[in-house]
């Protein structure tokens, strides 16, 4: 039996187990299973690996995308630049685990974003500055899209929500939410900006996929903006993870 799984805490919002369980079933992939491993502290990872010797790969979610790095033997070039890992391949050499980290968030985000980009999307506002934002910023830099990071507490290299003017919203036609704002069960939360400044040229992208239309996306859509949730990004990154685990 080959085991794959997801580490993070909490894991109530995860789609990964359902996705991979259905994949194994639909594609006739026998002797494979996908499990959830809710670990609150990343220090539990070595014990998890020793207790589950059939583990061949892990997905990594909040809050471990950054703090998992020190437990890896190797990190892929893109993941190293991003500074966050959400996929780990586990190989065994002479009885010892060899862990290599990747970032499939960047791949999934780029693949789902690019078809929606227009010539007006040269500047972006990125809400949040956690592990997911790192992958988003990596992709924006790759696509030569300027960006401002927006946070709630003063941080170097970022602006506050209260700093966002009408002029900033008009100039930045791409808005990306990388925070858990709006995620079930807190569906009434959203990045606090003046949505009346948005229009048909804006593209609002939310990494949240539960619910499919967050308050952020609904408010942007009311102003005529194009909207996109994080579900396709998840499918793209999941398939990328599967390819990595089977290299």
Contact in structure between 39 and 49 (CB atoms under 8 Å): no
Residues 112 and 86 in one domain: no
**Tell me: the pLDDT tens digits for 146-205?**
999 999 999 999 999 999 999 999 999 999 999 999 998 999 999 999 999 999 999 999
pLDDT at 132: 85
pLDDT at 13: 64
25 domain-assigned = yes
Residues 123 and 229 in one domain: yes
Compute the average pLDDT of residues 10-19. 84
Q: Is the pLDDT of residue 14 over 80?
A: no
Q: Is the pLDDT of residue 131 over 90?
A: no
242 domain-assigned = no
**Tell me: the pLDDT tens digits for 215-230?**
999 999 999 999 999 9
Q: State how far Cα 149 lies from the chain centre.
A: 16
Contact in structure between 146 and 98 (CB atoms under 8 Å): no
Confidence of residue 59 (pLDDT cuts 50, 70, 90): very high
Residues 29 and 88 in one domain: yes
In whole angstroms, what is the distance from residue 93 CA to residue 240 CA? Answer: 24
List 2, 43, 65, 173, catalytic entry: 65
Residues 79 and 149 in one domain: no
Q: Is the pLDDT of residue 12 over 80?
A: no
Residues 47 and 91 in one domain: yes
Positive or negative, the CA dihedral 140, 5, 61, 91 is negative
Residues 115 and 229 in one domain: yes
Contact in structure between 175 and 223 (CB atoms under 8 Å): no
241 domain-assigned = no
Mean pLDDT: which of 16-20, 124-128, 184-188 is highest? 124-128
pLDDT at 226: 98
pLDDT at 94: 81
Give the chain's domain count: 2
- Of 77, 102, 127, at which residue does a domain stop? 102
Residues 95 and 112 in one domain: no
Q: Which of 117, 126, 142, 144 is nearest to 201 (CA)?
A: 117
Active site residue 65: yes
- Of 102, 125, 153, at which residue does a domain stop? 102
Residues 116 and 227 in one domain: yes
240 domain-assigned = no
- Of 68, 102, 136, at which residue does a domain stop? 102
Q: What is the CATH number of the domain that holds 90?
A: 3.40.50.10860
- The pTM score is 0.88
Q: What is the CATH number of the domain that holds 141?
A: 3.40.50.720
Helix (H) or strand (E) holding 33: strand 32-38
Helix 104-113, helix 131-142: angle, nearest 10:
50
188 domain-assigned = yes
187 domain-assigned = yes
Residues 132 and 226 in one domain: yes
194 domain-assigned = yes
Residues 74 and 169 in one domain: no
Give Cα separations from 218 to 127, 131, 191, 207, 213 (angstroms).
16, 25, 12, 14, 6
Confidence of residue 100 (pLDDT cuts 50, 70, 90): very high
Query: What is the residue range of 118's domain?
Result: 106-233
Residues 153 and 214 in one domain: yes
Q: What backbone phi and psi angles, to 5 degrees, belong to 15?
A: -105, -10
In this structure, of 68-72, 75-79, 89-93, 129-133, the range with the lowest mean pLDDT score is 129-133
Residues 127 and 227 in one domain: yes
Percent of the chain with pLDDT over 90: 92
Helix (H) or strand (E) holding 203: strand 203-206
37 domain-assigned = yes
CB under 8 Å, gap of 24 or more: what pairs does 147-151 form?
A: 147/123, 147/172, 148/123, 148/124, 148/172, 150/125, 150/126, 150/191
């Amino acid at each position: 039996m080959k085991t794959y799984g997801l580490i993070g805490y909490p894991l109530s919002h995860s789609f990964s187990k359902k996705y991979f369980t259905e994949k194994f079933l639909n594609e006739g992939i026998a002797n494979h299973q996908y499990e959830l491993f809710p670990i609150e502290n990343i220090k539990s990872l070595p014990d998890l690996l020793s207790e589950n010797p059939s583990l061949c790969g892990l997905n990594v979610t909040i809050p471990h995308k950054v703090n998992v790095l020190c437990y890896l033997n190797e990190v892929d070039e893109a993941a190293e630049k991003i500074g966050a890992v959400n996929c780990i391949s586990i190989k065994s050499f002479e009885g010892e685990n060899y862990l290599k980290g990747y970032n499939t968030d960047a791949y999934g985000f780029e693949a789902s974003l690019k078809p929606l980009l227009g010539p007006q999307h040269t500047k972006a506002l990125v809400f949040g500055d956690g592990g997911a934002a790192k992958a988003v910023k990596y992709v924006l830099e790759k696509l030569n899209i300027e960006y401002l990071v927006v946070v709630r507490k003063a941080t170097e290299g970022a602006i506050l929500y209260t700093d966002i003017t009408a002029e900033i919203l008009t100039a930045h036609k791409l808005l990306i939410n990388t925070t858990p704002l709006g995620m079930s069960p807190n569906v009434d939360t959203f990045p606090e900006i003046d949505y009346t400044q948005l229009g048909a040229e804006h593209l609002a992208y939310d990494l949240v996929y539960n619910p499919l239309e967050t308050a952020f996306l609904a408010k942007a859509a009311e102003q005529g903006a194009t909207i996109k949730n994080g579900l396709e990004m998840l499918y793209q990154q999941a398939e990328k993870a599967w390819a990595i685990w089977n290299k």
